[in-house]
Amino acid sequence: MKTDLYSYFKEIGIFRKNKNDIDLWQYYDSKQGWDYDSIDTVIDLLRRVRFFNRFDSDALRCMLAKVTMRRLERSSVLFFKGEEASIVISG
């Protein structure tokens, strides 16, 4: 039986969660959106991601007001619609 290297290394524990990985899902509800009591925490977490650390808090707050988070299956293809953009935070 063949096993790809990624699966093998993951199985033996070589791939661990990166200390810089962030989990925003605990602050987001797919039906209600962001938990606005936690927005400052979300902004602090986003600043750990290189792409977002160039924006000030007000700009990130405006972006979050327009964000819809989605979970995708592994190896999914992202399609853009109209003025939509996608940013992969983890995975």
Predicted structure pTM score: 0.66
Task: Establish if 5 belongs to a structural domain.
Answer: no
pLDDT, position 82: 76
Q: How far apart are CA 6 and CA 24, in angstroms?
A: 25
State CA 55 to chain mean position distance: 16
Query: Is 29 among the domain residues?
Result: yes
Total domain count, the chain: 1
Residue 60: give the domain boundaries.
19-91
Rounded Cα–Cα distance for residues 2 and 10 (Å): 15
Is 43 inside a domain boundary?
Answer: yes
Given a cut of 50, the residues of the chain with pLDDT beneath it are none
Instruction: Let me know if residue 83 belongs to a domain.
Output: yes
- Residue 44 counted as domain residue: yes
Q: What is the DSSP letter of 53?
A: G
Q: Does the residue 91 lie in any domain?
A: yes
Whole-angstrom Cα distance, residue 53 to residue 58? Answer: 12
